[in-house]
A and B are shown apart, each in its own frame.
Chain A
């Protein structure tokens, strides 16, 4: 068995990712149905099962909302219009063309999703990864599967210069900071062990028996990290007939708005002047000391720098007030994004870590496939 990895290099509409995912799911469902009817009439099934498949991509800016949110707290049309940009955005003071052209530009799309979790955002600069596997074939329960995904993401972050991540009861993968000054032999194993362990998390650890570094880190290592309020990866999974879909959104860098938007559209991506995603500058930090200045900033409007900072700053991501969202390039610590930090490289790392977590060993544990293989 090998892990098939389909990576799409160009940003795609979200609906295309759903189409690819559906095609993969259909193959799995068809196999299950065929298997069952062969079991009933006791004939052997000759076709092989579909391989576990990781689909990685970037989308055009998209907000998605899980079913729990839709049912408990449906978004109003006004809220959806705000998210997509259908309602007039606050325009930059010197710009008159936006007002003249009207407000029919779509800045982001919005889709309901059958996955778990609440409201989140996908865009260029985020590695969105959907993993489609048959849980039974890999002997995983849904809760162990989630843990496996989280561990794979944490190990991927460590490969790219960010070993200090952890999970908590809140969904997703978070940046951790050391609790004490003491040295640890491996910050990564500390982080894998250092989840703020609720009863549920402890139960999952006992029950899941995951192999490799995760297990080694868990037993007996003193907790050395505590969670900051910065989330680097969102998680939301759907399980149907034992087949998984959807997955994670791992933020890699804040892709500049220019890469997709023409100049006329680019100026519509704005943020309030006091939003926390602005890079810290002397004038901003100085100004915040004065309440008057703060009010002025809040009422002012600045152009957004990148897709992630723009999109996430406009929502309470995943329903978690007071938290913020971050990305690998920001957490790496340097001024410039490291050369190796491309979506392609991070996707490759994630594929290796997922294959390893699924117990698939060897040099060729991961096999790259093209879109045509999935869509045939």
Chain B
């Protein structure tokens, strides 16, 4: 499936059934933050709406909120980040994924950017 991107530098990738989306922060965002020392993950089962804060990514001196790109329910979180928060810096768009969300309305993804638009998007 194709990754979609938000203006807040998050990505979402839907699974083959188009039900569960994996989310994370982009390569750009991880460089913009510096070394990540702590990740605040949401609780599994949390119901969230598009644009709501569901967690945070922290460097030693700052905490940046992570917004959910879609409305839905958190089904899984990447526990690896609790032990190794630096994974977000190494592979933000792969092993450093943040959470998985069961998406209520897949149409919400239509408003997000594809890779070309995100790369061109003035940051």
A residues touching B (Cβ–Cβ < 8 Å)? 36, 66-68, 71-72, 114-117, 136, 141-143, 145-146, 169-171, 200, 203-204, 207, 235-242
**What chain B residues lie within 8 Å of A204 (beta carbons)?**
34
Query: Can you name 6 A-B pairs with beta carbons within 8 Å?
Result: A68-B37, A68-B58, A200-B35, A235-B61, A238-B62, A241-B67
Knowing A136-B123, A141-B33, the reply to whether A146 touches B65 (Cβ < 8 A) is: no
**What chain B residues lie within 8 Å of A239 (beta carbons)?**
62-65
**B34 lies within 8 A of A68 (CB):** no
**What chain A residues lie within 8 Å of B90 (beta carbons)?**
none
**A171 lies within 8 A of B60 (CB):** yes
User: With A146-B59, A241-B67 given, can you name 4 additional A-B contacts, CB distance below 8 Å?
Assistant: A143-B32, A200-B35, A239-B63, A241-B8
**B121 CB, nearest partner CB in chain A, Å:** 11
Knowing A68-B38, A143-B32, A241-B8, the reply to whether A115 touches B63 (Cβ < 8 A) is: yes
**What chain A residues lie within 8 Å of B34 (beta carbons)?**
142-143, 146, 200, 203-204
Interface of A is mostly: mixed
**What chain A residues lie within 8 Å of B61 (beta carbons)?**
116-117, 146, 171, 235-237
Within the complex, which residue of B53, B62, B67 is in contact with A237, where a contact is CB–CB below 8 Å?
B62
Task: Tell me the total A-B contact number using a CB cutoff of 8 A.
Answer: 76
Count of B interface residues, CB-CB < 8 Å: 22
**A142 lies within 8 A of B59 (CB):** yes
**B67 CB, nearest partner CB in chain A, Å:** 7
**What chain B residues lie within 8 Å of A242 (beta carbons)?**
8
**What chain B residues lie within 8 Å of A116 (beta carbons)?**
58-63
Most B CB atoms within 10 A — which of A204, A235, A239?
A: A239
The chain B residue sitting closest to A36, CB to CB, is B7
**What chain B residues lie within 8 Å of A241 (beta carbons)?**
8, 65, 67
Q: How far is the CA of A312 from the CA of B100 in the complex (A)?
A: 42
Q: Which 10 pairs between the two chains have the least Cβ-Cβ distance?
A: A141-B32, A143-B34, A116-B63, A237-B62, A116-B62, A240-B65, A239-B64, A68-B38, A171-B61, A146-B61
